[in-house]
Structure 1
Amino acid sequence: MLVLAILLFALNLRGPIVAISPVLDAITADLGIGAGTAGLLTSLPVLCFGVATPLAAWLLGRTGLERGVLLALAGVLAGTVVRSADGVPAALAGTLVLGIAITIGNVAVPVVIGRDLPHRAGAVLGAYTAALNVGSMLTLSLTVPIAGAVGWRVALVTWGALVLIASAVWWCATRSRTTQDPAPVTGDPPDLADRTSVWWRRPVVWGLTIAFSGQAFAYYGVTAWLPLLLRDERGLSESAAGLSSSIFQVAGIVGAFGVPLLLRLCSGPRPVLLMVCAAWTTLPLGLLLAPRWWPLWCALGGAAQGGGLTVIFSMIVQRARSLAENRRMSALVQGGGYMVAAAGPTVLGAVREATGGWTAPLLVILGAITLLTIAGTLSARRPTAAAGAGSSRSATSGPPR
């Protein structure tokens, strides 16, 4: 029941963000906003992932994990409803509430898995990552048909039904623990070495932060604008473009489960990282040079975006010298990366508006992937035996997305 609750919760941690992508044109016309402002509707939640993480950790420490997740689900529902109310202020306010609520979920779920399912943490984290992509696939595929029947506002609110289902299952799975004292989510206290070492001065910390920034920028930029790109460049209808772009999300499941296998087969993370980056580059280059093969490019790029996260977090685990440092590195890498990624949809929207086409935005995505490749390759050195031993117990502590 707990695993089911986690997977249903995961469906609501990305779906509400990407649901607006296939109907951005309708939203832009209805609200009278430009492409840059429309990009804020997908970039604000990502900005919250970087900025609101300390607030989320504090709230979970005060309420406990079980109540905290219920509060997060309530926030997702409230943000979904407010976002569809009339006017630009309501749309932005609802989006902000969504971002903060989802940030709480990002922090809570990996801790719940590590605490309650330690012997199955790897498998459950893989399923959790897959469920994030399934949630995106569902909303990308079905929002346009629903909007065609009832309008984009009601279509977005309709996804609140998933929130209600997840809330009910979560309550049933955890109700026996909701009366217990709140569980801390900040992890084990640091040891003396962690207190005295200047961990954030290590080049690998900033290298991985830059790599994750490129990965997240490319992912959220593509997620926001791929439906409209396929509509403009391939002549697909809005409904077909939304359904087709879901290939990008579904293929992420392949990367989420396939990259851990490659990491076990290869001598280190560097060859796996290079394979991931090579697959990533096929998306912008393929759409530029051979757009008729767009299903293949979307599939390869989707597998890469799912696998890129796994590679980066595996390197954090390998290079961290203790559990406490692992979590500090994870917080810095994710916080910095998501703050950069928040600009992705807005930047790509503004570039598209300025150039009147999709060539320049695709080159921007290619630049982000290049950043991932260079910074990730420089960071993917084989860790020392001491570093590996120091971090072996924290192999599943970092959240997948």
Structure 2
Amino acid sequence: MTLSKRANLLALLGILFLALNLRGPFTSLAPVLGQIMDDLALSASSAGFLTALPLLSFALFSPLAAGLPRRLGLYPSLAFALILIASGIVLRSVGIELLLYLGTIFIGAGIATGNVLLPVVVKVSFPARISVVTSLYIFTMGIGSTLSSSIMVPLTGIEFAFLSGWQLALLFNLVFPIAALFIWLPKLRNKKQSTTANASDGSPTPMKSLLKCPVAWQVTLGIGLNSFTFYAFAGWLPKMLNDLHFSEVDAGYIYGFLQFSTMIPGLLLLPILSKSNSQRAIITLCAGSVFVALIGLITLPDYAVFWVGMFGLANCSTFIIALSFVGLRTSNPGQAAALSGLSQSIGYALAATGPTLVGYFYTLTSGWTIPLLIIAIVAGFCVAFCNLAARDTKIFQNEPVQSQRNG
């Protein structure tokens, strides 16, 4: 293997191992939440706040993460994100309520930093394969999420030293950041590689100027509205299915099917994106399918399994392609970091409002038609902004750039 190929392989492994940490520590909480509530005597409102805290942390820390590479360097910033996640996992597993919240904030800050900077690493390491590598790492995020969530309950039956139950289960997530650090820490000692990554950042991109850029807003709203539809829909799906006369067991299976369906696009899109010079048609189709799935669930609820699967596939496909725009619509890693911070901060802020808004209209109308219509309307706006963001135009540039093969 040549030195260049070996470097590319190590860079890809670093990206994928980092991606393993960007969803699992968040989603692994839900399977053991009941045990945590019983053990720490948490109220339902406290537990609800605990589940919303990561999304709020994402929204708060994403814009701060965009400036970290200028202070620490790109690779040290990624190592810092992994250390935050690892520290949060340990604190959350101690079994003290205050540390449970504090650890969750640490995890949220670390994941937010990783979410913002991972598209920058992709742009630095694989500038000609941005969409393909983005698909791969989103798929890997799904693997980490599925693995962490599925083994939480079995692990609660194991005792080790002074740890047992949900504490030991949540502490298992520590395996992933430690494994990723083994890959990223050697990069910190490679001064030449680190200097190259930092030198390619380009001049700083002020957030104020980014807020005045139409392309930046198109990418941001494409990602943000897509995130809103997912969290607003997924957060209430089991209750929704119960009210549509599905049993709790069936509702649980369908909810699991939704999570599974979000893993598939990372593989399905690989051959398409590797051969396509334009994402406009595919993202319009995917974002439009989210709207169709929601309308289908309203009009033909008996086919909920089909509509939920369609929603998961289409929503995650839209997210993968929209996230690749962070690299494709910027001219250097500095711009990519700023756009990633803006889009994910606003995106998760929108996502955090989704479940609350849907719950309010459900209470107001005592049904799911109006809430689903609201999510569908948001999905319609998402189609429009994704279509605009898919045009081959860089930020801070009025004219479309000459089409390039961006994979």
TM-score, normalising length from structure 1?
0.76
C-alpha distance in 2, partners of 1:6/1:74? 16
Provide structure 2 residue ranges, at least 5 long, that are not aligned to the other structure: 1-9, 159-163
- Identify the residue that residue 322 of structure 2 maps to in structure 1: 312
Q: Which among 113, 117, 130 is matched to residue 122 of structure 2?
A: 113
Shift of 1:246: 2.7
- The count of aligned residue pairs is 386
* Contact 2:136–2:267, Cα closer than 8 Å, also in 1: no
1:21–1:307: structure 2 CA closer, same or farther, 3 Å change rule? same
C-alpha distance in 1, partners of 2:165/2:258? 21
Letter in 1 for 2:249: L
- Identify the residue that residue 335 of structure 1 maps to in structure 2: 345
Shift of 1:96: 1.0
Shift of 1:297: 2.9
* Contact 1:144–1:239, Cα closer than 8 Å, also in 2: no
* Contact 2:31–2:149, Cα closer than 8 Å, also in 1: yes
Q: Superposition pairs for residues 9-28 of structure 1, below 5 Å?
A: 9-28=18-37
1:354–1:333: structure 2 CA closer, same or farther, 3 Å change rule? same
Q: Superposition pairs for residues 196-235 of structure 1, below 5 Å?
A: 200-226=211-237, 233-235=246-248
Shift of 1:324: 6.5
Percent sequence identity is: 28
- Identify the residue that residue 182 of structure 2 maps to in structure 1: 168
| Residue 6, structure 1, aligned to residue 19, structure 2 | no
- Residue by residue over 1:150-204, the C-alpha shift from the partner in whole angstroms, topping out at 9 and shown as x without a partner, is 6434322222222222222333x526426987753882127xxx99x96643545
1:327–1:5: structure 2 CA closer, same or farther, 3 Å change rule? closer
* Contact 1:39–1:346, Cα closer than 8 Å, also in 2: no
C-alpha distance in 2, partners of 1:353/1:158? 38
1:299–1:69: structure 2 CA closer, same or farther, 3 Å change rule? same
Q: Superposition pairs for residues 319-398 of structure 1, below 5 Å?
A: 328-348=338-358, 362-377=372-387, 387-389=399-401
- Identify the residue that residue 248 of structure 1 maps to in structure 2: 261
- Identify the residue that residue 72 of structure 1 maps to in structure 2: 81
Question: Quick check: 1-10 or 119-128, which moved more?
Answer: 119-128
* Contact 2:89–2:171, Cα closer than 8 Å, also in 1: yes
- Identify the residue that residue 42 of structure 2 maps to in structure 1: 32
C-alpha distance in 1, partners of 2:359/2:190? 45
Letter in 1 for 2:61: A
Shift of 1:12: 0.7
1:147–1:116: structure 2 CA closer, same or farther, 3 Å change rule? same
* Contact 1:21–1:223, Cα closer than 8 Å, also in 2: no
- Identify the residue that residue 285 of structure 2 maps to in structure 1: 275
Q: Which among 153, 166, 174 is matched to residue 152 of structure 1?
A: 166
Provide structure 1 residue ranges, at least 5 long, that are not aligned to the other structure: 397-401
C-alpha distance in 2, partners of 1:176/1:347? 48
Question: Quick check: 58-67 or 152-161, which moved more?
Answer: 58-67
Question: Quick check: 286-295 or 209-218, which moved more?
Answer: 286-295
| Residue 187, structure 1, aligned to residue 201, structure 2 | yes
* Contact 1:326–1:391, Cα closer than 8 Å, also in 2: no
C-alpha distance in 1, partners of 2:368/2:166? 25
Shift of 1:8: 1.6
Question: Quick check: 118-127 or 75-84, which moved more?
Answer: 118-127
Taking only aligned residues, the RMSD between alpha carbons, in angstroms, comes to: 4.2
SS at match of 2:22: coil
Shift of 1:215: 0.5
* Contact 1:60–1:185, Cα closer than 8 Å, also in 2: no
Shift of 1:122: 4.5
* Contact 2:58–2:345, Cα closer than 8 Å, also in 1: yes
